Amino acid sequence: MTSSILVTGGAGYIGSHTVRALREAGRRVVAYDSLELSEPSAVGDTPLVVGDIADHELVERTCREHDVSAIVHFAAYKNVGESMLSPGKYFRNNVDGTVRLLDAAVAADVRQIVFSSSCSVYGTPAVVPVDEAQPVHPESVYAETKAMVERVLRWYDEVHDLRSISLRYFNAAGASFDSAIGEDWTYALNLIPVAIRALLTGDQELQVFGDDFPTPDGTCVRDYIHVDDLAAAHVAAIDHLADGGDTTAVNVGTGVGSSVLEVLGAIEAVAGKPVPHRIVARRAGDPVATFSDTTRSRQLLGWRAQYGLQEIVETAYRWHLTQLERGS
């Protein structure tokens, strides 16, 4: 039997796009998800195991039954604000749950992991573009859980020969080009789905946190990466490990920064009407500008982003429009 790749959080936003990318690349895939914040329809006819990553017996059995050779690990809570209010929830699930997952993987003789990390491990970067040599300095419980798991993974390589790549990605956005899967704005906190929701439903006004930053238009600058590009990076990371690559961490971004007002302008151009918004005070801890140095992802993984803000906004808008139409 050909080996499989297990994708935890496989029915989630980035997970479902990665499941699709892996299958399109000819890989056998098994999705694993608690379905707490996702729907089984997101994985289509891909085999889906419903369970918790902390369930050692279920993870080990799944790995053995499907001859899993590598795991792509997305399953985690990711609300920064919530993490500061309920730190225990995040340490239990994101860190302890991952340790239990890794123990089950080792027991099933799985020795390759691609981990969904985050550029938030850097905190407020001293220099942009951000490269992997910059110090890890988390500024939220969520970011700390990602940094802790990266350290755990380095030790599991040392002790168990479990090699891993931690992908520190920037702002995932957009949807599949056929509008089959995308980000559910019910759970989303990110700028693009929240702005599109404000435009399409009118049920809320978008808040822009500050317009007095030292940027060309006064609003924060971020690196937005299309979710299909991000999925492709996970496929490249699996291939790198399969070829004997060492445990490491790699930034995944476009290297291009877009301001909040630039993003709103792109959405308005696609929709043909304005995004209802108002400027409010700065939010504590928001970096002025963050975007990726892409050198290492190109050199190590042979990967670079193919899409820009235009494709991100167009696919996201089509997806949300389709969802509204299906619900009507």
CA distance to 4, 108, 232, per residue, from 46 (Å): 12, 21, 18
Instruction: Find the range with the poorest average confidence among 88-97, 197-206, 269-278.
Output: 197-206
- The pLDDT score that the predictor gives to residue 1 is 58
SS3 of 166, please?
A: strand
- The pLDDT score that the predictor gives to residue 114 is 98
Average pLDDT over residues 275-297: 90
Sheet holding 258-259, edge to edge: 258-259, 221-222, 289-290
Distance CA 53, CA 76 (A): 9
Instruction: Give 243: exposed, middle or buried? Use CB within 10 Å, 0-12, 13-18, 19+.
Output: exposed
ω before 129 within 30° of 0 (cis)?
Answer: yes
Q: Residue 328 — pLDDT band, cuts 50, 70, 90?
A: very low
Q: Any bridge partners for residue 7, and if so which? A: 31, 72
Is the Cβ–Cβ distance between 296 and 131 less than 8 Å?
Answer: yes
Tell me the per-residue pLDDT of 170-209, one tens digit each, with 9 for 90 and over. 999 999 999 999 998 877 778 999 999 999 998 889 999 9
Number of residues written out for the chain: 328
Statement: residue 210 has pLDDT above 60: yes
Average pLDDT over residues 264-273: 97
Distance CA 237, CA 222 (A): 24
Average pLDDT over residues 230-242: 98
Distance CA 297, CA 279 (A): 36
Q: What percent of the chain has pLDDT over 90?
A: 88
Is the Cβ–Cβ distance between 162 and 111 less than 8 Å?
Answer: yes
Q: Find tokens 């992908």 and name the residue.
A: 167
Domains belonging to the chain, first-starting first, are 4-173+225-252 (3.40.50.720)
pTM, 2 dp: 0.95
Average pLDDT over residues 137-156: 96
- The pLDDT score that the predictor gives to residue 327 is 67
- The pLDDT score that the predictor gives to residue 124 is 85
Q: What is the DSSP string of 85-125?
A: H-HHHHIIIIIIHHHHHHHHHHHTT--EEEEEEEGGGG-S-
Output the CA torsion sign for 198, 199, 203, 204.
positive
User: CB pairs under 8 A, 24+ apart, for 294-297?
Assistant: 294/129, 294/251, 294/253, 294/254, 294/255, 295/131, 296/131, 296/132, 296/250, 296/251, 297/233, 297/250, 297/251, 297/252, 297/253
Which residue out of 122, 142, 224, 317 is catalytically annotated?
Answer: 142
Q: Which of 317, 167, 293 is nearest to 232 (CA)?
A: 167
Distance CA 89, CA 112 (A): 27
Distance CA 93, CA 75 (A): 9
Is the Cβ–Cβ distance between 289 and 220 less than 8 Å?
Answer: yes
- The pLDDT score that the predictor gives to residue 18 is 98
Sheet holding 28-33, edge to edge: 48-50, 28-33, 4-8, 68-73, 112-118, 163-169, 248-252
Instruction: Identify whether 122 is a catalytic site residue.
Output: no
Output the CA torsion sign for 156, 1, 51, 80.
positive
Statement: residue 24 has pLDDT above 80: yes
Token code pair at residue 322: 């389709």
